[in-house]
Structure 1
Amino acid sequence: MRALRLSRFSSLRAFGHRDFVHVWSGALVSNIGTWMETLALGVYVTTVTGRAEATGGIAALTFLPAVVLSPVGGALADRFDRRVYLAAGTLVQALLAALLAVLAFTGRLSVPAVAVISLLNGCAATLTNPAFTALIAEIVPPEDLHSAVSLSSAQFNLGRIIGPALAAVVLATSGIAWALIINTLSFIAVLVALSRVRSSGKGSVSSQEELWPGIVRGARLAREDAGIFLMMMSTLVVAALVAPFIGLVPVFAIRVFHQGAAATSLLVTAQGVGAVTAAMLLGPLLERFGRKRVLEWCVLLIGPMAALYWMAPTLHAAALAIVGLGGLYMATLAGFNTTCQLRAPRDLQARISSLYGMMLGVGYAGGVWLQGALADRVGVRFVTASAALLFLALVLTLRLLRPRCFDATEAPTGHGTVAEPRPAVALEGSGEF
């Protein structure tokens, strides 16, 4: 009966699978804590330094490890029991969160300490995120994977809504230390969820396969498949020119609107509202219009929406604009990632996911730092709005030169030895900011 009710709503069908519900719930609790920490540290760094470059730099450090470690994480995810591997990575992230909390409680928190721990946390997340992707591909059947994509995006962005709101309250009443300790405790939910998953979690590649040849196989596919290559390059450009709006939210709230944690929380929460709304609508839209058409419209609209957000005259106007921007950003990245996974054979899905994460991390790390540095010199609005309009110009140029380039998003191609490639879902930070 429950499955029958869920089948009427294409975006909810994945909830009919027990293991997915456990993973989804655990990841939601963890993401709420992560967003509390993200907002608290963003406000802390912006307030202490007064520089957009510092705030952007700290945000970049979390994703910089993706430049080197993403392919390694993808290869490892295909070799080991993914539940054990994920549990180990979660414990490392919990220890790093606890270290931040201890520093804050003892009054020893500093910007350099935040930078180092952010870099180490980025390493742990980069190595474990492909395993989350591969585990979801195991526990959700092919016919419900579009639902899993939407619900996982909704989960991540529910954390983006709830976490900053809680962080604003905690910062106002108890201080940064308590926000950080709540994040530390939130990792327990992931460990409990993994312990209740019934899937074997075993990788699809023999552990006797050498690490480097396995990485090379994934990279070769990404280079040779025209559809995957286009999606990878598109992800890189979106991450560099549009995605920095996420890391620079504290700068926008504090430097432009002259407000603090409450304004930062409002903007982050508004982005999450837009992303959750889009996640719930994405399944029906894909069924009605097709992946190609939906993705083309998202790519065309995201640049102008980002420029509208950065040029908003008031905080409340910016909050309304970021609702739309959050929805378009979620739908665009979901389209890129899903297309990559549909075109990859099952035994290479984790590695393709890791390369996608690498493009996202490289673009975002470089973009958020560079835009932050330039914002200190020529103004936040000018730099960020110009980057958004540059993205629009690149999209229009691509459509003019290659009008049928997005045809590759409509159907998977046959690769490798597995007949039924399946889309995977990113649950944590490096998969979707």
Structure 2
Amino acid sequence: MRTLWDVLLRRRDYRLVLGAGLVSLTGDWILKVGLAFHVYTLTGSTLASGGLLLASFGPLVVLGSVAGVFADRWDRRRTMIVTNVLHAVVLLPLLGVHDEGTLWLIYLVVLVQSCLQQFFRPAEQSLIPALVDPGQLVTANALNSQISDVARLVGAALGGGLAALGGLPLLAAADAATYVLATGLLLAVRHRSERKPIDRTGGVARKLRADWVEGLRICVAGPAMRLVFVFGLVTGVGEGAMSTLFAPFVSTELGGDGTQYGLILSSQAVGGIVGGLVAAAVGSRLRATWMWGVGAVLFGLVDLVLFLSPLVSDSLVPAFVCMVVVGVPGAFLVAGSMTVIQRLTDDTSRGRVFGALFAAEGVALLAGIFASGVLGDVVGIIPVLVFQGLGFLVGGLVVLGRRRTLVAAGADDVSPPLVRQPA
């Protein structure tokens, strides 16, 4: 608990970055929920609503690993500031959406914002280790992952209401205001990182391509990073299945309605907030590899209980309980794995690695979405969702079984990581 308060009270720059993330993520959820509501109201088409998902995920797959190269080349604080400003500007076209004929503007805004996010995420994750002491890194990552649940709980509640109250203009104004406020917080950050200029010998494009390839190579260069990479692929497929089939699971297998489905998702956010606080409070006293492995095992077990519960009872109570309880191992999983990645890489390559990992997980997520859409009708909803739970369970057991390899690579200590690449 002492480390938690040290990070929050004594690490001013980290506190500002954390606050900026909370504000902008809340705006993202306001817009995300509100846009989905508005598009469906405007068109009455679930296909049109699904197009928002495609516009959001596409840049992650195509641009994610490339954007990570620039996160290593540019000042990360400045990158975050510029992308926030651009986010606010890009929202302006939403003011011109009045009917189905201008619906394409919504997809364009979502697409461009997703592109900007690919530059922001690796810059943020790469900046955090520079803002706290090495022994505080697990706590910082736990807090950073927790704010997404807080933002989802607040933003999702506001998004639908703002859409009904003022339509797209109010949604755009609210989201833009969060980006302006987040930019102000980031401008107050004092940390500056000296980034080396690109070596123009042989051409800038060739050097950037070499950096991009190098980032991909680092992800599979050693057994420790390969474990991180494969774990992300397997669990990404499972998360794609979860995002596709959880609503049908609640409706078909549990007999719940739309209101109950929304409440179950809200309970997951509550569990994530509680779990994030627990992980932040005790994380500094635990090994990151242990948090990752045990968190994944328990996360998978809770999911298996949830998905198999209809075989015993058609009550909705297990769903609510499991979605709250899973927040604790989920927070341990995220904080532990993020800390491991940060310790396995150094400052000159961290952005490229995060970009490549995010892109790979995006591919896996899309694969899970498409596969579960087909297999859900062929083998049933429960068997496919069981795969998601097993993916985390088996993945966590493999992590625990390979802890010596991870520790040897520097994942559990605060010494300089072994994976070092020239700038």
TM class by shorter chain equals: 0.7 to 0.9
Q: CA deviation at 1:399?
A: 8.1
Q: What amino acid sits opposite 1:293 in the alignment?
A: W
For each residue in 1:3-38, what CA deviation from the matched residue of structure 2 results, as whole angstroms up to 9, or x when unmatched? xxxxx4333432121111111112111111111222
When residues 374 and 285 of structure 1 are mapped into structure 2, their CA distance, relative to the original with a 3 A threshold, is: same
Out of 141, 148, 156, the position equivalent to 2:148 is 156
For each residue in 1:102-122, what CA deviation from the matched residue of structure 2 results, as whole angstroms up to 9, or x when unmatched? 42xx34587655444333322
CA distance in 1, matches of 2:94, 2:403: 44
Q: Which moved further from structure 2: 178-187 or 286-295?
A: 286-295
Structure 2's unaligned 5+ residue stretches are 201-206
Q: CA deviation at 1:343?
A: 1.2
Computing the radius of gyration over CA atoms, which structure comes out larger, 1 or 2? 2
1:208 aligns with 2:199: yes
Q: What amino acid sits opposite 1:365 in the alignment?
A: L
When residues 394 and 24 of structure 1 are mapped into structure 2, their CA distance, relative to the original with a 3 A threshold, is: closer
Structure-to-structure mapping, 1:30-429, within 5 angstroms: 30-44=24-38, 51=46, 58-100=52-94, 102-103=96-97, 106-108=98-100, 113-171=105-163, 173-175=165-167, 177-203=169-195, 205-208=196-199, 210-242=207-239, 244-246=241-243, 259-260=257-258, 263=260, 265-309=262-306, 313=314, 317-372=318-373, 377=377, 382-383=380-381, 385-394=382-391, 404-410=401-407, 412-413=409-410, 420-421=416-417
Contact kept? 1:101, 1:181, Cα under 8 Å: no
Contact kept? 1:241, 1:388, Cα under 8 Å: yes
TM-score normalised by structure 1 residue count = 0.79
Structure 1's unaligned 5+ residue stretches are 1-7, 424-433
Q: CA deviation at 1:64?
A: 2.7
- Between the two structures, name the one with larger relative contact order (CA 8 Å, sep ≥ 6): 1
CA distance in 2, matches of 1:250, 1:57: 18
For each residue in 1:289-314, what CA deviation from the matched residue of structure 2 results, as whole angstroms up to 9, or x when unmatched? 53333322322233343344456646
Q: CA deviation at 1:159?
A: 0.5
Counting matched residue pairs gives: 404
CA distance in 2, matches of 1:227, 1:126: 24
Aligned residues with identical type, % of pairs: 22
Contact kept? 1:33, 1:182, Cα under 8 Å: yes
Taking only aligned residues, the RMSD between alpha carbons, in angstroms, comes to 3.6
Contact kept? 2:272, 2:324, Cα under 8 Å: yes
Q: What amino acid sits opposite 2:15 in the alignment?
A: V
When residues 328 and 42 of structure 1 are mapped into structure 2, their CA distance, relative to the original with a 3 A threshold, is: farther
Q: What amino acid sits opposite 2:183 in the alignment?
A: L
When residues 293 and 264 of structure 1 are mapped into structure 2, their CA distance, relative to the original with a 3 A threshold, is: same
Q: Which moved further from structure 2: 233-242 or 247-256?
A: 247-256
CA distance in 2, matches of 1:178, 1:360: 33
Q: Secondary structure at the match of 2:416?
A: coil
CA distance in 2, matches of 1:325, 1:109: 43
